[in-house]
Structure 1
Amino acid sequence: MAIIANKDDGLKYKKQQIELFFSVHPDEQERAEYLKSAYQDRYTEIIADGQRLGYKPQEDGLLMWEGSYPSRTKESVFSWEVVAGWTAQLIDKKEYFIQTDIPRLPDQESQQMSLFDFAAFQQPTQAEGTAQPSIFPHPALPQQVIDEALCIGANDQNSRLIICAYFKKDKPDNARFL
């Protein structure tokens, strides 16, 4: 299975494409034909768990061997249906394609500011029972109405784009504009 799961296999198709094909085509024969076309026609050797292994696609299956090809200790040709079955098992176990190039998260300075980064939200909370000042002119509106209005925009066509363009200008009266 180390040959099938090899991350540096140099297949003609990416492993994500093979997983997608398998998810759309449950027929074992279609999968076998697809994998037959996926392997490069060349001798390939890898080191897995400290052991040299190799493979080369054949018309009737995938030739695999232990050791270097000229001095191999074992070899066998596995039919394309068997290779497709092994590939399906690895996909089901989530071991076929493992994402290794995970992008780094941006540092704190380059992240977009949120609404909660502003000073109005960082003020200490007031004692219970006292009225808290609001940045919105009508304090009787429930928070849900305010949130929906910010998400939906105004009644004008393309109002969200207009609001976005206004905020990009970074004017001091953004709250009044909203």
Structure 2
Amino acid sequence: MKQIITLLTVALISVTASAQTKMKEYKAGHTFNVSIPDYMNKTIGLNEDSAIEYASEVKELYGFVIYDLKEDLKMVELNFNSAKEFYDGFMKDFLKDTEKKTISNPVSKTINDINFIEADVDAFDKEANMEIYYLIGVVETKKAFYKILSWSGKENKEKFKGDFQKILYSIKD
């Protein structure tokens, strides 16, 4: 009987001690919304850092979204003061080894407190032996920076640029 009472006392003390420890709650993962045209499907294998990838194999259209939480960027001392600064940092390395490329001037917009930047990039892909059109987008929300890359053969630029823009401007968290 003494052993049972001792055991219960030890268990009660353990529970009480652990109950007094203050805990911080953290949210893991990040949720955001993006709209993709119905002729495209989610896919994998385009970019290992992406949160979502999309494609239409039939139309030869591809894209993905990568996000960087502002909180995470601060922890590694990457402090971007604006979407433009984030865009500039990304674009200095984008296709840097590609010899034949044209990058349009970036266009900035703010919609519902979300900052957007978009630019057109035409580049010759030696491996595919063709010209590729990219719509490059950067989005800044209160929580994160996003990079949205959508691309196709350059001959499809005018046909699908509007849908690529709809993907870009649908981002919200």
Does the alignment reach a TM-score above 0.5? Answer: no
Highest Rg: 1 or 2? 1
TM-score normalised to structure 2 length: 0.22
Higher fraction of helix: 1
TM-score normalised to structure 1 length: 0.22
Higher fraction of strand: 2
- Structure possessing the higher relative contact order (Cα contacts under 8 Å, 6 or more residues apart): 2
